[in-house]
């Protein structure tokens, strides 16, 4: 039997997919970049068949970030500045209509990597933030894997 993969270029806020047609929606480290996360989950819900599954991995916050990081282009590109509070993220998934919403994995942000990253180094230099403070801010950021089901 031949297996064919079909790729469609689109935006996560406007999926180029018909209603109730897909079995599973997966995503890795993309939704944090969207400025309309509620819309993203509503779109995922729309395209899934009843009984369809959502499984996404993303960066979320345990505590709000300081404004200078929120405003940082490097922080946004690095998937941090666009991240929202974990509670709000899960609320958006549930509000879209998903049931059995569960965080199946949660890992802390690799602060060591962040501190060695050239963009983090540039940020340290530009804002004069201490590596210790940056490390503390890093503890506010986690990576989660979330699953949900369309009833
Ligand atoms: C951090 S990368 C992750 C890529 C891939 N999922 C992976 O795990 O390697 C983020 C990707 O999201 C894409 N992206 C950002 N905003 C998007 C949007 N609104 N709609 C669709 N894709 C988007 C970017 O172009 C980029 O390819």
pLDDT at residue 86, rounded to an integer = 98
* Structural domain includes residue 1: no
The tens place of each residue's pLDDT in the chain, 151 residues long, gives 788 888 999 999 999 999 999 999 999 999 999 999 999 999 999 999 999 999 999 999 999 999 888 888 878 888 889 999 999 999 999 999 999 999 999 999 766 666 677 777 777 787 788 878 878 888 999 999 999 999 9
Residue 118: enclosing H or E segment and its boundaries?
A: helix 118-127
CATH number, residue 84: 3.40.50.150
Q: How many CB atoms lie within 10 A of CB 98?
A: 23
For the purposes of burial, counting CB atoms within 10 Å of the CB of 59, is it exposed (0-12), middle (13-18) or buried (19 or more)?
Answer: buried
Q: How many domains does the chain have?
A: 1
Do β-strands 99-108 and 141-149 pair in parallel, antiparallel, or remain unpaired?
antiparallel
* Structural domain includes residue 17: no
pLDDT at residue 99, rounded to an integer = 98
* Structural domain includes residue 87: yes
By alpha-carbon position, which residue is closest to atom 21 of ligand 1? 11
Q: Is the CB of 105 under 6 A from ligand 1?
A: no
Distance CA(47)–CA(18), nearest Å, equals 6
Q: Is the CB of 116 under 6 A from ligand 1?
A: no
* Structural domain includes residue 138: yes
Residue 99: name the closest of 26, 42, 36, 148 by CA. Answer: 148
pLDDT at residue 130, rounded to an integer = 82
| Dist. CA 96 → ligand 1 center (Å) | 21
By alpha-carbon position, which residue is closest to atom 6 of ligand 1? 28
* Structural domain includes residue 11: no
* Structural domain includes residue 8: no
| Dist. CA 66 → ligand 1 center (Å) | 24
Q: How many residues does the chain have?
A: 151
Ramachandran bin of 29, using left for φ above 0, alpha for ψ from -120 to 50, beta for the remaining angles: left
Give the domain range for residue 112. Answer: 22-149
* Structural domain includes residue 16: no
């Amino acid at each position: 039997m031949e297996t064919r993969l079909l790729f469609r270029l689109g935006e996560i806020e406007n999926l180029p997919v018909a209603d109730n047609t897909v079995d599973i929606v997966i995503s890795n480290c993309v939704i944090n970049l969207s400025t309309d996360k509620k819309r993203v989950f509503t779109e995922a819900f729309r395209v899934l068949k009843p009984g369809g599954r959502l499984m996404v991995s993303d960066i979320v916050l345990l505590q709000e970030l300081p404004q200078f990081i929120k405003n940082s282009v490097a922080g946004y590109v690095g998937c941090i500045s666009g991240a929202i509070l974990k509670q709000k993220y899960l609320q958006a998934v549930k509000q879209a209509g998903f049931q059995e919403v569960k965080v199946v994995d949660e890992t802390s942000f690799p602060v060591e990597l962040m501190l060695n990253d050239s963009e983090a180094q540039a940020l340290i230099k530009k804002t004069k933030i201490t590596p210790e403070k940056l490390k503390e801010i890093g503890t506010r950021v986690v990576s989660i894997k979330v699953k949900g089901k369309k009833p």
